[in-house]
Copies of this chain bind each other. A is one copy, B any other.
């Protein structure tokens, strides 16, 4: 489906609200055409290196990890409130066990090769320009205890927002 391009700050407050309340849908597609989507509750948005950037965090254990490692691109899809059950599904089931994209309409991104979800009114298409990893020794102890009791420290992908598209 064809969306119109908007500035990356378009409805950003609403995007961050949804991020913290239910979550956003992080999708990525490998060169072989396989795709996956997962729910994320953490991300930051802004300007780095003169580029509009969205930073997403993915644990190495996640199925999505290998998709972004390979493709170096991703799409962050903002779901509607009506997609609540789907967002829950994408946050609780692994793409290793179930094809979360089998029964939902998708398209290919306009600026990156990642799949995007047609039902989502707003999509950020991103190309990775940097990555680094959460460094345990440099983390506040309460954050370390709360979020990393099993290790599996997140990789941070700094995605250049090459296009923000709204319906």
Identify the A interface with B (CB < 8 A).
Answer: 9, 12-13, 16-17, 19-20, 41-51, 53-55, 57, 128-135, 138-140, 143, 146-147, 156, 160
Contact = CB atoms under 8 A, between A and B. Distances in A.
Contact of A53 (B44, B51, B130, B147): B44
A153 to B, nearest CB: 11
Q: What is the oligomeric copy number?
A: 2
Nearest to A155: B138
Contact of A132 (B17, B47, B49, B138): B138
Contacts of A45: 16, 44-46
Contacts of A19: 46-47
Contact of A42 (B46, B129, B132): B46
